[in-house]
């Protein structure tokens, strides 16, 4: 496999472009998989500060092969647009060699640009490949690449992105392994460091920034507009700071269900202005469609608050946590209104404690190194499969030699597996009898008899029959399969170890020399 991570975030190309991409993220995985044939799997991670595409591609995708990169008719990845470089940037700890030029990156960037209505060739994505991409995915899940370093929500967003990919049929087995290791890494960072325990998140930073413009939050009233992904986190952050008078409004009639689930007051769909007049803090987190709070909506509310005794001395603080802006920019200029948004939250993010960040990065590095060793071991899977098939074929052949056939004589002699002794098979049987003692010529007698053809078997002395251990043919098959499994265990373990230690070629050559098997097996990147 070849792993790619293409992303747009708050650093490159910025939140405005991320908002445009986030608006077209639904259904992106299946469409991208159809448009670019080289892809085997896609996970689309869309958050308030990034759009990341974790891609599993054929190993020949970056060769520029037309079969890998040519899209289906009607998509944007063709002609001169596909030659525009989309490779830019790297993870904080990735070397410049990790971010290699990629025809696949160009194809994906061109597809995204047309989908989001951006100018051809204008979209610049950060692009990591191979081990660097997998390492960065682990860092993302651990919150180390977030706008608020150490945020805890991101790992849940990663898991939900994988669940969506699974439901849409774009989650490949290789991507499953990456997501599982990313989740495990995030849990270890949360357990072994204090980074996530500090309650760092976009919502928490935004609420703290809003609190600076208000009296004590314990005496304030809040209104949440929208029931998007940040709505629940907003409720928790407000209550953690002592603000308990919270109402919720939803233009899509979801307010009552959300309010019931969080013990809030639901605002009727026709009562938004009145609810805003009674509120000191309005937090928007819809993230769909255009602005819901325009200057025409907010201006009368602000004026009413300035006239009323209850609002005297208190500005109306509006915190817009939506990536696609729920609040019109013109609201910022209204008297009596404080307008805060994601770019402002980004600028207000406090630096995380260096010691905790360093500890978290060390965990990510250790997990990434271990994961690469695991993948190196898995690169021997095709060879192990061939080895097992080879041994399984031998076992099957030997079972067929024991299995009675109608064309056989009532009793016949067949060579044993190692050629040093012979076995006597009686046709029509289902029972195998093996003599405990060998003859003078080194042969061992094995007889197979069944109830319906027992009369066909050669007569045996009573004492001889009683001394012979009796097993069914099915038991003989199980014994042979068990023997094969035991014999294959150590070669399998050593094959994975050879892959992890970089001795793949030496192991293949040894296996070919000993067993005559052709060298097989692909490698991951």
Q: Is the pLDDT of residue 375 over 50?
A: yes
For the chain, the structural domain boundaries read 1-61+100-192, 196-349, 395-402+471-493
Q: What is the pLDDT of residue 53?
A: 97
Q: What is the largest CA-CA distance in the chain?
A: 117
Task: Tell me the per-residue pLDDT of 25-53, one tens digit each, with 9 for 90 and over.
Answer: 999 999 999 998 889 999 999 988 899 99
Please tell me the predicted confidence (pLDDT) of residue 97.
39
pLDDT category at 523 given cuts 50, 70, 90 is: very low
Cα–Cα distance for residue pair 241/234, rounded to 1 Å = 11
Rounded to an integer, the average pLDDT of 216-228 is: 91
Can you give the pLDDT at residue 115? 94
Residue 461 has a pLDDT of 47
Beta-bridged to residue 13, according to DSSP, are 9
The answer to which of 71-85, 103-117, 483-497 has the lowest mean pLDDT is 71-85
Q: For residues 453 and 508, which has the higher predicted lDDT (pLDDT)?
A: 508
Is residue 379 very low, low, confident or very high in pLDDT (cuts 50, 70, 90)?
A: low
Active site residues: 48
Tens digits of per-residue pLDDT, 229-271? 788 889 999 999 999 999 999 988 889 999 999 999 999 989 9
DSSP one-letter code for 195: T
What pLDDT score was predicted for residue 98? 46
User: pLDDT tens digit string along 297-326?
Assistant: 999 999 888 887 554 567 899 999 887 788
pLDDT tens string 402-414: 766 434 444 444 4
397 is in an annotated binding site: no
Is 303 labelled a binding residue? Answer: no
- Measured between alpha carbons, how far is 353 from 135 in angstroms, rounded to an integer? 22
The better pLDDT of the pair 256, 502 is held by 256
Residue 71 and residue 74: Cα distance in Å, rounded?
Answer: 8
Residue 440, annotated as binding a ligand: no
126 forms beta bridges with 7
**pLDDT one-digit tens code per residue, 271-289:** 999 999 999 999 998 866 6
Confidence of residue 221 (pLDDT cuts 50, 70, 90): very high
223: β partners: 247, 282
Instruction: Say if residue 441's pLDDT is above 70.
Output: no
**Interval 102-111 mean pLDDT:** 87
Taking the C-alpha atoms of residue 11 and residue 3, their distance in angstroms, rounded to an integer, is: 22
Is 253 annotated to bind a ligand? Reply is no
Architecture in CATH for domain 1-61+100-192: 2-Layer Sandwich (3.30)
**Percent of the chain at pLDDT exceeding 70:** 71
> What percentage of residues in the chain have a pLDDT greater than 90?
40
The reply to whether 220 sits in an annotated binding site is no
Strand order in the sheet with 265-267: 265-267, 245-249, 221-225, 281-284, 316-320, 337-341
Structure tokens that stand for 490 in this block? 């150590």
pLDDT of 455 > 90? The answer is no
Q: What is the pLDDT of residue 96?
A: 38
321-360 b/e (C-beta count within 10 Å ≥ 16 → b): bbbbbbbbeebeebebbbbbbbeebbeebeebeeebbebb
Question: Among 82-91, 100-109, 213-222, 305-314, which range has the highest average pLDDT?
Answer: 213-222
| Res 446: pLDDT | 44
Residue 194 has pLDDT above 50, yes or no: yes
Q: What is the CATH number of domain 196-349?
A: 3.40.50.720
Is 231 assigned a ligand-binding role in the annotation? yes
- Residue 118's pLDDT is what? 93
Q: What's the token pair of residue 434?
A: 């093996």
Q: b/e string for 86-105 if b means 16 or more Cβ within 10 A?
A: bbebbbeebeeebbeebbbb
Lowest mean pLDDT of 228-232, 285-289, 360-364, 379-383, name the range: 379-383
Please state whether 240 falls in left (phi above 0), alpha (psi between -120 and 50) or beta. alpha
**pLDDT digits 0-9 by tens, 117-142:** 999 889 999 999 999 999 999 999 99
Read off the DSSP letter of residue 352.
Answer: P
Residue 524 has pLDDT above 60, yes or no: no
On whether 49 is known to bind a ligand per the annotation, the reply is yes
Of 318-332, 389-403, 448-462, 487-501, least confident by mean pLDDT is 448-462
- Tell me, what's the pLDDT at 472? 77
Confidence (pTM): 0.61
Q: Is 153 annotated as a binding residue?
A: yes
Mean pLDDT of 363-382: 83
Mean pLDDT, the chain, whole residue set: 77
> Is 50 exceeded by the pLDDT of residue 438?
no
Give the position of tokens 């094995």: 446
Helix axes 473-500, 504-515, angle to 10 degrees: 140
């Amino acid at each position: 496999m070849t792993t790619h991570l293409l992303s747009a975030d708050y650093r490159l190309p910025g939140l405005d472009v991320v908002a445009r991409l986030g608006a077209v993220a639904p259904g992106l995985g299946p469409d991208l998989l159809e448009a670019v044939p080289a892809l085997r799997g896609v996970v689309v991670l869309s958050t308030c500060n990034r759009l990341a595409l974790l891609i599993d591609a054929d190993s020949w995708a970056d060769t520029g092969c037309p079969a890998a990169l040519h899209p289906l008719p009607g998509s944007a990845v063709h002609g001169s647009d596909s030659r525009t470089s989309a490779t830019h940037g790297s993870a904080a700890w990735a070397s410049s060699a990790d971010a290699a030029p990629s025809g696949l990156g160009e194809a994906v960037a061109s597809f995204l640009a047309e989908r989001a209505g951006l100018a051809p060739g204008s979209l610049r994505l950060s692009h990591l490949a191979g081990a660097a991409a997998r390492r960065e995915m682990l860092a993302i899940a651990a919150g180390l690449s977030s706008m608020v370093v150490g945020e805890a929500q991101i790992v849940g967003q990663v898991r939900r992105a994988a669940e969506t990919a699974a439901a849409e049929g774009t989650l490949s087995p290789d991507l499953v392994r990456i997501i599982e290791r990313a989740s495990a890494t995030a849990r270890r960072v949360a357990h072994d460091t204090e980074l996530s325990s500090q309650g760092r998140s976009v919502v928490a930073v935004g609420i703290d920034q809003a609190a600076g413009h208000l009296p004590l939050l314990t005496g304030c009233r809040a209104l949440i507009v929208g029931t998007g992904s940040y709505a629940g986190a907003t409720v928790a952050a407000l209550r953690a700071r002592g603000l308990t008078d919270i109402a919720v409004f939803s233009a899509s009639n979801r307010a009552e269900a959300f309010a019931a689930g969080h013990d809030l007051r639901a605002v009727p769909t026709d009562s938004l202005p009145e609810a805003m007049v009674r509120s000191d803090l309005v937090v928007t987190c819809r993230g769909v469609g255009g602005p819901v709070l325009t200057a025409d909506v907010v201006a009368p509310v602000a004026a009413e608050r300035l006239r009323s005794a209850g609002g005297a001395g208190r500005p109306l603080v509006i915190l817009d946590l939506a990536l696609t802006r729920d609040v019109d920019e013109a609201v910022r200029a209204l008297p009596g209104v404080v307008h805060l948004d994601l770019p402002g939250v980004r600028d207000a993010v406090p630096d995380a404690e260096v010691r905790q960040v360093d500890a978290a990065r060390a965990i990510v590095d250790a997990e990434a190194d271990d994961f690469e060793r695991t993948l190196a071991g898995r690169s021997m899977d095709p060879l192990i499969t061939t080895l097992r098939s080879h041994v399984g074929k031998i076992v099957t052949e030997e079972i067929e030699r024991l299995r009675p056939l109608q064309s056989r004589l009532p009793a016949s002699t067949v060579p044993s597996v190692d050629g040093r002794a012979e076995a006597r098979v009686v046709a029509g049987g289902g029972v195998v009898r093996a003599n405990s003692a060998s003859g003078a010529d080194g042969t061992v007698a094995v007889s197979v008899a069944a109830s319906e053809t027992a009369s066909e078997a050669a007569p045996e002395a009573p004492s001889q029959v009683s001394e012979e251990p009796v097993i069914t043919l099915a038991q003989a098959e199980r014994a042979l399969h068990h023997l094969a499994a035991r014999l294959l265990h150590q070669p399998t373990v050593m094959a994975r170890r050879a892959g992890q230690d970089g001795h793949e070629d030496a192991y293949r050559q040894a296996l070919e020399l000993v067993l005559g098997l052709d060298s097989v097996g692909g490698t991951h990147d």
